[in-house]
Structure 1
Amino acid sequence: MFTRIPTVLRSQEIIDKAFSRASKVEEPYHPHKEVRIRKEIQDRISSIEGSTVFYLRKMVKKFPSNDTLHPFYRNLLDLMFDLDQYKISLSKLDRTASKIEEFSTQKIRQLKYIPVIAEMNKIMREYYGRVASLIGDLDSDLSFLGRCRDFMKQVPEIEQNDPTFIIAGMPNVGKSSLLSRITTATPRIAPYPFTTQSIYIGYMERNGRRIQVIDTPG
């Protein structure tokens, strides 16, 4: 169900990758040094914009939308993490991508009218600093989405049309033992809290119909 969600990078990793890629951009020789430097800085800005915006938009696209989730999955995920925060964090990634696009366009346009190399380099430093700040402000959201992704990738495919019971309760009260007794599931069982680290599903037959039973972490 959620197996295609890519690994969530931390903010510094995104910055390092984008800046490293941009540092390799070089313009060929031009008789007018100012022309070459201007084009090189513009290309580096475009490179950073492309890397960061592509990654942020990919995250927004690959994570399932809260509004399109089946009610069962939405309720299940809401038990494990704050879905409101999930929606807010994805929105922040999308807004940051738009801000980077806008700022990049502004700086590339500004460079067209700068004749002095020192001023061009100043614009480049301003751009690098602003992008690093925008991405850095996402660190807590990226960390949160990383934890969401780790849990979501453990969620097995659930038959949405089968009658379903969820076993919920405090840790170490025997939920997994109950699941193993009444269904075909073989969850990990141990006499200490928080043994259940992921969702387990078992099935049982009643009156010729299959019933789905889910053991949740807790």
Structure 2
Amino acid sequence: MDTSPTALFDSYEQDFKQLVQSIEEKLGDGEGKDGRGDDRKATLRRVDMELEEADEMVSQLDIEIQSIPQSVRAHYHTRLREAKSQLSRSKKALTDARATVARADLLSSSKGGLYSSDDPYASSSDRSRLLDGMSVLENGTKRLEESQRMALETEGHGAEILTNLREQREQIENSRDTLQRADVAIDRASSTLKAMVRRMYQQRAITYSIIAVLIILIVVIIWEKLS
């Protein structure tokens, strides 16, 4: 089993690519595009669930990148941004597919009402309602895309902030280790100085003792000579 710091990131990224490929097949040439009615809606529901799983994988990639060494992290940040971009494109494709299904349903419903109505103005009224519905749907799609874009930007800024905070924490830890080593060195120097001061006092005491003994001897000698 690969236990390198990048092994989990590579594994999640591989699973994410396979999931995105499955989503693109469903939304591109698969059932999501060519299907009709309930089958197409069911396919889009499956795509929605797969997108939720892909979103969780991207979140996991964002977590795993924090444990990758600084020397190679920039390369993996690029791969993470590519994964987020792929996820955003897939979400947009799903939104477009849903809009197409909704538009088709509106057209189908409108046509059914057109041919069953005896009102000569029904065609214009239904067409107006259809256009209004399509306009509302397109506006909703644009707002959703803008929200997704802002969410991705916010997520990117959050990842950068986390990276900066991690780097600052490492710098603080390094500074703390340096201060601890300096404190130990200061303690050792202080102990050495105290030992030197003690020896100095001891030597001074010995010197004074020798001088006192010599003075006493001189006094004794002089006293004996005088007496």
Select the structure of larger CA radius of gyration: 2
Q: Normalised by the size of structure 1, how large is the TM-score? A: 0.34
Higher strand share: 1
- Structure with the bigger RCO (C-alpha within 8 Å, sep 6+) is 1
Higher helix share: 2
